[in-house]
Amino acid sequence: MIKDIVDRANADPLLLAKCRFIGIVFAIEGDTHRTVIRVDHGQVSVDPDAAPDFILRAHDDAWADFIQPMPPRGTHDILALLEGDRLTIAGDALALFRNLRFVKLLLDQARNEEVVA
């Protein structure tokens, strides 16, 4: 499910254009899965061996809620999950918040639905 976002991002030239000046590596972690995503100045790829700048960590049930087409209350956004104590941010938080809009756009691809922001 999370891995799909890379394929969807690469099929979206407008989205790729938004990361022209972004160079980050981050991990999305659940109980049973871990995906390391590299965003490298206009290109998005899965890179399992890369060291992430930051990690978004949540239980599988939180990610399962997050990717629903219309997620339950408090689960449609990573900051909502954070406020609800269902997600933690490890590593370089500034790297996340410096690129927060793009990271959210990328994660919304997991939903295969209208993008929220």
Partner 1 sequence: MNAVIEQITGRYVHLDIEGRDHRVYFEEAGAGIPLLCLHTAGSDSRQYRGVLNDPAVTAHFRVITFDLPWHGRSSPPAGWENESYALTTDLYMTTIRAFIRALGLEKPVLMGCSIGGRAVLHMAIRHGHELRAAIGLQAHAGYDPRMHPLIKDIAYVDRPDVNAQEAAAATVSGLIAPMSPSADKWETLWQYMQGGPGVFSGDLYYYMVEGDLRNGLLADLDTKICPLYLLTGDRDYSATVERTQEVMRFVPGAEMTVMPDLGHFPMSENAPLFLTYLRPVLDRIRAA
Tell me, letter by letter, the H, E, C secondary structure of the chain.
CCCHHHHHHHCCHHHHHHCCCCEEEEEEECCCCEEEEEEECCCEEECCCCCCCEEEEECHHHHHHHCCCCCCCCCCCHHHHHHCCCEEEEECHHHHHHCHHHHHHHHHHHHCCCCCC
Selected binder of partner 1 within 16, 46, 80, 110 (CB under 8 A): 80
Task: Single out the residue of 43, 74, 90, 112 in contact with partner 1 (rule: CB under 8 A).
Answer: 74
By CB under 8 A, residue 40 contacts partner 1: no
Q: Contact between 53 and partner 1 (CB under 8 A)?
A: no
Residues of this chain that bind partner 1 (CB under 8 A): 70-71, 73-74, 76-80, 82-85, 93-94, 97-98, 100-101, 104, 114, 116-117
